[in-house]
């Protein structure tokens, strides 16, 4: 099936005539984005559906409207969900001056500020990305890899045994420790322990629905009133964020005074100079660090939880993994498992929208300036035309097969693909290896657990409740 024909599916589902003429042998007719179907649901109901029931909401929309449809969750913003591979591929290949991502990061601005890489486009984005890349590649990667496996061993060993616990808080604590290594490397700030503790407390705000609100854009009087209602968590978050900002600023100044160089993110940024010879401002460096505290930790913690959610329902996969791990001569099957986990449970089900700044045509649809394109990793990965038996957990589909850049997008794609993708894959492999070789994992409930929103990511609704028993096979071997 040609995915570019899904506009026809959308029109047929709504009882209308397909706006694209498929009968003409010449080039496909081009229709305006306004011709695409819009979700017929009250705006607030759509917002709540994306927060509380994202998977059934997305599936029902795809079934009714096809691979392209408009959601009305942001007043006045034409937001188009796309999930046809060719559309996604063309979106990723669009020139930098045609599609922007910075303007779509308003929901996380309260965390990241507006001065980090996530907010930059075109030449500014290219320059900053190239400048900070050394913190995520080469020698820095080798240093981080050692820390990833050491921390996985330490953290998994400290997780409670023989009692039911939500895995997410423990996985999240691990990923924050890893990101501290990425940020500061061998030159740890003197306030590291206090900063880590405060960051962990600050990030708990992500579990509250109020985190979805752009309250940072409210007039001061309205924000004060919102802070007075303590159950929403806004006041506590802002207080803790101010503390973290002060700690990060102090760490930057301490490192600057020391003169210590390094391939960690802070060390790299302290060495950046613009065309006038000026370094990034303290605010720019702080915003990059705050972005990593959010995006560099929540995503991987989510993936660890989804991995356990799937593996505990597929014991045969666990046994294959343990056999490979015991042999110690490669990780081909583990790599396939990780790819399948990220296919079925992409932490970010809808990647950061692209704002159209110049007219662009994707799959026979012409999008106008002001439109936003919201590629759905969830729908793309659950399409039977891309993956036969799409809802089944089958790591074998990735054995000897490299995931395609436009049908497997847990890290986004194009100019703004996640910088930390290799680190995330490494963290997943390290934690799964440590968990499966030292524990027997038992899920608390028999039924599959649905996704639930946690600001930028989706996690199993119960936080992946598991019981970690000491590994019986390992204990028996030790006894012999």
Q: What is the per-residue pLDDT for 7?
A: 45
pLDDT of residue 454: 86
Is 224 part of any domain? no
Give the dihedral of Cα atoms 116, 120, 125, 130; nearest 10 deg.
Answer: 10
27 pLDDT higher than 80: no
- Residues 461 and 96: their CA atoms lie apart, in Å, by 37
User: What is the pTM (predicted TM-score) of this model?
Assistant: 0.90
**Residue 89 maps to a domain:** yes
Residue 194 and residue 177: Cα distance in Å, rounded? 13
Q: What does the alpha-carbon distance between residue 152 and residue 171 come to, in Å, rounded to a whole number?
A: 9
The residue to which tokens 């927060």 are assigned: 51
Contact 398, 340 (CB under 8 A): yes
Closest by CA to 110, choosing from 256, 279, 241, 288, is 241
Q: Which residue has the tokens 């924050």?
A: 176
Question: What's the whole-number mean pLDDT along residues 43-58?
Answer: 88
367 touches 301 (CB < 8 A):
no
CA dist., res. 51 & res. 54, Å (int): 6
Q: Which string of b and e fits 419-434 if b means at least 16 CB within 10 Å? A: bbeebbbbbbbbbbbb
Q: Which two tokens stand for residue 276?
A: 């006038």
| CATH number of domain containing 304 | 1.10.630.10
| 344 within a domain of the structure (yes/no) | yes
Residues 6+ apart with CB under 8 A from 458: 54, 302, 345, 347, 348, 349, 451, 452
Residue 413 belongs to some domain of the structure: yes
Give the pLDDT of residue 14. Answer: 43
Q: Provide CB contacts within 8 A for 9, sequence distance 6+.
A: 65, 66, 67
Question: Which domain, by its residues, includes 132?
Answer: 3-187+260-479
3 in Cβ contact with 86 (< 8 Å)? yes
Mean pLDDT lowest among 12-16, 100-104, 266-270: 12-16
Q: Tokens 């420790």 correspond to what residue?
A: 177
Bridge partner list, 372:
79, 355
Q: Does residue 56 sit within a domain?
A: yes
418 labelled ligand-binding: yes
- What pLDDT score does 275 carry? 87
Is position 52 within any domain? yes
What band does 474 get if pLDDT is binned at 50, 70 and 90? low
What would the pLDDT profile of 172-214 be if each residue is shown by its tens digit?
999 999 999 999 999 999 999 999 999 999 999 998 888 888 8
Nearest Cα neighbor of 247 from 195, 199, 285, 289 is 195
CB 29 within 8 A of CB 3: no
Q: Band of the pLDDT at 28, cuts 50, 70, 90?
A: low
CB 403 within 8 A of CB 339: yes
Q: What is the 3-state secondary structure (H, E, C) of the chain?
A: CCHHHHHHHHHHHCCCCCCCCCCCCCCCCCEEHHHCCECCCCHHHHHHHHHHCHHHHHHHHHHHHCCEEEECCCCCCCEEEECCHHHHHHHHHCCCCCEECHHHCHHHHHHHCCCCHHHCCHHHHHHHHHHHHHHHCHHHHHHHHHHHHHHHHHHHHHCCCCCEEECHHHHHHHHHHHHHHHHHCCCCCCCHHHHHHHHHHHHHHHHCHHHHCCHHHCCHHHHHHHHHCHHHCHHHHHHHHHHHHHHHHHHHHHHHHHCCCCCCHHHHHHCCCCCCCCCCCHHHHHHHHHHHHHHHHHHHHHHHHHHHHHHCCCHHHHHHHHHHHHHCCCCHHHHHHHHHHHHHCCCCCECCCEEECCCEEECCEEECCCCEEEEEHHHHHCCCCCCCCCCCCCHHHHCCCCCCCCCCCCCCCHHHCCCCHHHHHHHHHHHHHHHHHHEEEEECCCCCCCEEEECCEEEECCCCEEEEEECHHHHHHHHC
pLDDT at 346: 93
> Dmax over Cα atoms in the chain, in whole Å?
75
Q: Lowest mean pLDDT: which of 47-56, 114-123, 424-433? A: 47-56
Number of domains forming the structure of the chain: 1
**pLDDT of the residue at 107:** 82
In a domain, 238, yes or no: no
398-450: pLDDT as tens digits = 999 999 999 999 999 999 999 999 999 999 999 999 999 999 999 999 999 99
> Is residue 107 one of the residues assigned to a domain?
yes
Please count the other Cβ atoms lying within 10 Å of the Cβ belonging to residue 208: 17
The tokens describing 356, both together, are 């159209």
CA distance 194 to 190: 9
Residue 219 CB neighbour total at 10 angstroms: 8
């Amino acid at each position: 099936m040609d995915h570019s024909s899904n506009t026809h599916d959308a029109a047929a589902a709504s009882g209308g005539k397909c706006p694209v003429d498929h009968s003409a042998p010449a080039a496909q007719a081009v229709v305006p984005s306004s011709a695409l179907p819009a979700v017929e649901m009250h705006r607030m109901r759509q917002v709540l559906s994306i927060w509380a029931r994202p998977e059934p909401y997305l599936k029902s929309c795809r079934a009714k409207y096809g691979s392209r449809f408009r959601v009305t969750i942001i007043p006045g913003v034409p937001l188009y969900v796309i999930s046809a591979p060719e559309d996604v591929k063309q979106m990723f290949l669009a020139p930098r001056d045609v599609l922007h991502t910075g303007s779509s990061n308003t929901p996380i601005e309260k965390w990241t500020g507006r001065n980090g890489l996530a907010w930059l486009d075109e030449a500014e984005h290219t320059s900053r990305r190239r400048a900070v890349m050394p913190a995520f590649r080469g020698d820095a990667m080798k240093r981080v890899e050692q820390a990833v496996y050491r921390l996985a061993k330490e953290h998994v060993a400290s997780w409670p045994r023989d009692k039911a616990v939500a895995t997410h808080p423990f996985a999240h604590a691990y990923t924050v420790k890893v990101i501290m290594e990425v940020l500061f490397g061998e030159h740890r700030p003197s306030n590291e322990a206090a900063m880590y503790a405060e960051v962990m407390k600050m990030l708990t705000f992500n579990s509250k629905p109020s985190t979805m609100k752009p309250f940072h854009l409210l007039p001061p009087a309205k924000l004060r009133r919102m802070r007075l209602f303590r159950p929403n968590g806004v006041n506590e978050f802002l207080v803790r964020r101010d503390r973290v900002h002060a700690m990060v600023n102090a760490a930057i100044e301490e490192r600057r005074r020391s003169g210590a160089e390094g391939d960690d993110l802070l060390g790299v940024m302290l060495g950046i100079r613009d065309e006038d010879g000026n370094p990034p401002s303290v605010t720019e460096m702080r915003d990059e660090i705050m972005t990593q505290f959010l995006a560099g930790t929540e995503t991987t913690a989510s993936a660890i939880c989804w991995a356990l959610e799937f593996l505990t329902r597929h014991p045969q996969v666990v046994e294959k993994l343990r056999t490979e791990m015991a042999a110690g001569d490669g990780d081909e099957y583990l790599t396939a498992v990780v790819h399948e986990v990220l296919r079925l449970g992409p932490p970010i089900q809808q990647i950061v929208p692209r704002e159209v700044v110049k007219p662009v045509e994707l799959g026979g649809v012409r999008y106008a300036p002001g439109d936003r394109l919201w590629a759905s990793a969830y729908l793309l990965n659950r399409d039977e035309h891309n993956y036969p038996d799409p809802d089944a957990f089958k790591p074998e589909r990735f054995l000897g097969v490299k995931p395609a850049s436009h049908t497997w997008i847990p890290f986004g794609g194009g100019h703004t693909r996640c910088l930390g993708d290799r680190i995330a894959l490494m963290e997943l492999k390290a934690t799964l290896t440590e968990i499966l070789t030292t524990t027997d994992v038992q899920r608390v409930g028999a039924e599959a657990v649905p996704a639930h929103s946690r600001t930028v990511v989706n996690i199993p609704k119960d936080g992946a409740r598991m019981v970690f028993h000491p590994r019986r096979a390992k204990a028996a071997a030790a006894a012999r």
